[in-house]
């Protein structure tokens, strides 16, 4: 599951990375949350869209779609040809253990801009998730689908049917991932004189 991600880059760098004609509008934020506007790259160019599909059967937006069930779910089946890239510089995941929940910032080993596989529904998008890459499986049992560069071009090709690109929806394997876990603040010492 991916419920927060980061896009912390200059618009010009984003334009160069994805071969765009000009710098797109980029909300540089340390953390993009569901319902925030984020830049996506559709086959016809960059757009600012709201993160999370709106459905009438759930009050919460659908921020993620499971790769394994996309073709069988009515909500997503209609969107399989409405694909996009969701640029990011990192995403956040929470690891749970007996001491609590620990926030992890996860990025590619080269710390470069990358792209999630996404689907568009009008002015909204969702991020596709899959099983985690082995190096981060200890953090969470899902991860966003991160496409390699050839995969990005194929995913965003309007001429490619979903059946031709479904094989891209796998754990990231182009390079290793690195996770940095936030260190929780030390426990507050009780007031001995209060």
Indicate which residues carry an active-site annotation: 2, 93
Q: Which of 114, 107, 2, 104 is nearest to 62 (CA)?
A: 2
């Amino acid at each position: 599951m991916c419920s927060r991600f980061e896009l912390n880059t200059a618009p010009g760098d984003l334009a160069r990375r994805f071969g765009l004609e000009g710098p797109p509008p980029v909300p540089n934020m340390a953390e993009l949350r569901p319902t925030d506007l984020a830049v996506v790259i559709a086959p016809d160019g960059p757009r600012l869209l709201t993160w999370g599909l709106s459905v009438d059967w759930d009050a919460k937006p659908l921020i993620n779609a499971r790769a394994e069930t996309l073709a069988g779910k009515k909500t997503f089946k209609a969107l399989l040809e409405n694909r996009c890239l969701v640029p990011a510089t990192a995403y956040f995941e929470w690891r749970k253990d007996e001491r609590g929940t620990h926030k992890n910032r996860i990025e590619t080993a080269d710390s470069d801009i990358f792209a999630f596989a996404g689907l568009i529904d009008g002015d909204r998008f969702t991020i596709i998730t899959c099983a985690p890459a082995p190096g981060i499986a200890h953090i969470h049992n899902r991860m966003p689908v991160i496409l390699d560069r050839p995969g990005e071009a194929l995913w965003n090709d309007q001429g490619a049917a979903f059946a031709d690109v479904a094989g891209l929806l796998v754990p990231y394997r182009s390079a290793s991932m690195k996770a940095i876990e936030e260190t929780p603040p030390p426990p507050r010492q009780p007031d001995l004189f209060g």
